[in-house]
């Protein structure tokens, strides 16, 4: 039986940060930014704070140990068309991310790495 390759996954460091942010801010969501303000980065928001619509694609509902509910991961449909052949790996690196993303005051930022997958 073939296991489906997840479209989005978190590194252990990203999962740790998600747990800390969830404890402080409640349920969370990600939206992969299209490059407007902070390059192309996964932006973390309180769930529902970023309004998604018909131009967005829900790529994953991430199960994170220690977080009661799934963390949704969204991307604009036009950006998804360019990235549809990849698996996105959300990581954490030192540095200051966007002021809009919840991790900004932590001195780290989320970063998306990608791996090509068979289509």
pTM above 0.85, yes or no: yes
Helix, strand, or coil (residue 32)? strand
Segment 100-115, tens digit of pLDDT = 899 988 899 999 998 8
Among all chains, which residue has been given the structure tokens 């998306």?
A: 112
- Helices marked H in 30-84: 77-83
In a domain, 60, yes or no: yes
In a domain, 44, yes or no: yes
Per-residue CA distances from 110 to 5, 64, 67, 85, 89 (Å): 21, 16, 18, 21, 10
CATH number of the CATH domain containing 25: 2.60.300
In a domain, 12, yes or no: yes
Most distant pair of Cα atoms in the chain: their distance = 44
In a domain, 104, yes or no: yes
Segment 26-38, tens digit of pLDDT = 999 999 976 555 4
In a domain, 78, yes or no: yes
Q: Average pLDDT for residues 8-35, to the nearest whole number?
A: 93
In a domain, 3, yes or no: no
Please name which of 4, 6, 8 lies closest in space to residue 75, comparing C-alpha atoms. Answer: 8
Please name which of 11, 55, 35 lies closest in space to residue 98, comparing C-alpha atoms. Answer: 35
Segment 28-87, tens digit of pLDDT = 999 997 655 545 789 999 999 999 999 999 999 999 999 999 999 999 988 888 888 889
In a domain, 2, yes or no: no
Extended beta strands in 17-55, E state? 28-32, 42-46
Q: Average pLDDT for residues 86-100, to the nearest whole number?
A: 85
Q: Which domain holds residue 92?
A: 8-116
In a domain, 1, yes or no: no
Task: Please check the confidence at residue 94 and state whether its pLDDT lies above 90.
Answer: yes
Looking at the 3D structure of the chain, how many domains does it have?
A: 1
């Amino acid at each position: 039986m073939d296991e489906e390759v997840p479209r989005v996954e978190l590194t252990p460091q990203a999962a740790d940060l998600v747990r800390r942010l969830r404890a402080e801010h409640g349920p969370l969501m990600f939206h992969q930014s299209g490059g407007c303000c902070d390059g192309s980065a996964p932006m973390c928001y309180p769930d529902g704070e970023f309004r998604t619509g018909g131009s967005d694609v829900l790529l994953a509902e991430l199960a994170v140990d220690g977080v009661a509910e799934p963390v949704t991961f969204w991307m604009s449909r036009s950006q998804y068309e360019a990235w549809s052949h990849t698996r996105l790996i959300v990581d954490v690196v030192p540095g200051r991310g966007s002021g809009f993303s919840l991790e900004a005051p932590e001195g780290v930022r989320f970063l998306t790495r990608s791996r090509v997958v068979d289509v």
